[in-house]
């Protein structure tokens, strides 16, 4: 499984990165996780005709603002957009005029699918609700004998641990500065590290930094010291699991 970090910032796009988007490529599928500002970069990365799935954690704008580039895409296999059931209607209301063309008017076949109806996927998908002011789910993807966790935005919670248990790569958020929690709806780097350690994850990637507080790359690096196997990827970084 190849993981490419396309948007590693939280809240808004700055010189430290675009807002949230990660792509996991297996031999059977492209799995895009969130469609923040970095989403447009999938246009140049998707070269094969494997099925494309876009999994949305929630509908805060920094996770969906990239959807407005969908008219650019012309992948003949199309794209299935998977969203938590209770967010279906809100997503349909955003993906229409005057905001953007509706799915039926895009160049490629585009379908919005509620998570409960997403069956027969070419990977194992589990999801659980997280702690956030709006309905948000975290994902646990199993493919090619590897486990990838994508769990953001969230405060510390039991489901974060369940999703991350023994994961080969845990991608979670780091909105708050070290030792400065501003509520229980996001994580400090220490809280992310503690969850990674408790869940016995093999590797922790911190993304989704609160863009106004984490305004230098040095601060991103400094957030990575609390769990031995932690890194803060920049946009464009990739790794093979």
The binding site for Zn ion (CB under 5 A) comprises: 10, 60, 62, 153
Q: How far is the CB of 132 from Zn ion (least distance, A)?
A: 6
- 26 versus 191: smaller Cβ distance to Zn ion: 191
Question: Could you say which DSSP state residue 17 is in?
Answer: B
- 154 versus 230: smaller Cβ distance to Zn ion: 154
**Helix or strand or coil: residue 14?**
strand
Q: How far is the CB of 167 from Zn ion (least distance, A)?
A: 20
Cβ-in-10-Å burial (0-12, 13-18, 19+) of 168 comes to middle
Q: How far is the CB of 137 from Zn ion (least distance, A)?
A: 12
Q: How far is the CB of 219 from Zn ion (least distance, A)?
A: 18
Q: Could you give the count of Cα atoms lying within 13 Å of 169 in the half-sphere of its Cβ? A: 25
- 106 versus 163: smaller Cβ distance to Zn ion: 163
Q: How far is the CB of 128 from Zn ion (least distance, A)?
A: 16
| Torsion angles phi and psi, residue 207, rounded to 5 | -135, -170
Encoding tokens for residue 15?
């010189």
| Torsion angles phi and psi, residue 21, rounded to 5 | -165, 130
- 153 versus 235: smaller Cβ distance to Zn ion: 153
Nearest residue (beta carbon) to Zn ion: 60
How far is Cα 105 from Cα 159, in angstroms, rounded to an integer? 38
- 66 versus 103: smaller Cβ distance to Zn ion: 66
For residue 83, CA distances in Å to 45, 137, 192 come to 23, 9, 24
């Amino acid at each position: 499984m190849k993981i490419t970090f396309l948007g590693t910032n939280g809240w808004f796009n700055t010189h430290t990165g675009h807002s949230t988007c990660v792509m996991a490529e297996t031999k059977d599928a492209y799995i895009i996780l969130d469609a923040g500002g970095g989403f447009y970069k999938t246009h140049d990365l998707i070269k094969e005709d494997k099925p494309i799935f876009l999994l949305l954690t929630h509908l805060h704008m920094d996770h969906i603002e990239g959807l407005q580039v969908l008219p650019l895409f012309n992948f003949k296999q199309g794209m299935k957009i998977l969203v938590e059931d209770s967010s279906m209607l809100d997503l349909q209301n955003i993906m229409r005029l005057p905001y953007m063309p509706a799915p039926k008017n895009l160049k490629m076949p585009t379908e919005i699918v509620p998570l409960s109806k997403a069956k027969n996927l070419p990977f194992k998908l589990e999801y659980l609700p997280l702690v956030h002011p709006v309905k948000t789910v975290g994902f646990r993807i199993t493919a090619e004998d590897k486990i990838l966790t994508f769990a953001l935005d969230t405060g510390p919670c039991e489901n974060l641990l369940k999703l991350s248990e023994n994961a080969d790569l845990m991608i979670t958020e780091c909105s708050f500065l070290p030792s400065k929690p501003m509520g229980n709806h996001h994580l400090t780097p220490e809280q992310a590290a503690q969850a990674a350690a408790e869940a016995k994850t093999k590797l922790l990637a911190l993304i989704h930094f609160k863009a106004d507080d984490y305004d230098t790359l040095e601060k991103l690096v400094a957030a990575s010291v609390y769990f031995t196997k932690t890194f803060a990827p920049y946009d464009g970084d990739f790794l093979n699991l």
